[in-house]
Amino acid sequence: MKQPTFARVLGVTIPGGPVFAVAGFPVSLVSEVFGPPEIRDGKACWNFADANGKIKCAITAERFKGGARDVEVKFIEPAPLKGQFFDWATTKLNLTQNADLAPAFLTTHRTALRVERL
């Protein structure tokens, strides 16, 4: 079975769709794997297109209440994908976090995330 692939897309709005899963990850890890976030609708986000170039999936991040180190990361994907985007993204995050995969984006400074309510 061929593994699905997704490509990061910049400059687009967060795609509509259900939140498939929520997890806690350091924003620095998400940035090391997928690059720096864009700020859209008051959230840090990383948008992705499928192999056909259709923008369908996203990762959004917001601070946990209480200022925890990790951020609340939501994985948005349409139901027909049945968790394929979530599996692909979390595999990359977990492999990078465990040093089994080299980070795609290295930074020499701390990544700050500021989310404000409008």
pLDDT digits (tens, 9 = 90+) for 45-72: 999 998 888 888 999 987 655 555 667 8
**Percentage of the chain modeled with pLDDT above 90:** 26
pLDDT at residue 5, rounded to an integer: 84
pLDDT digits (tens, 9 = 90+) for 12-31: 888 988 999 998 888 888 88
Q: Tell whether the torsion through CA atoms of 91, 92, 93 and 95 is positive or negative.
A: positive
Per-residue CA distances from 85 to 93, 105, 115 (Å) = 12, 20, 25
Q: Which residues contact 54 (CB under 8 A, 6 or more apart)?
A: none
Amino acid symbol at 108: T
Q: Is 88 helix (H, G, I), strand (E, B) or coil?
A: helix
Domains of the chain by residue range:
7-97
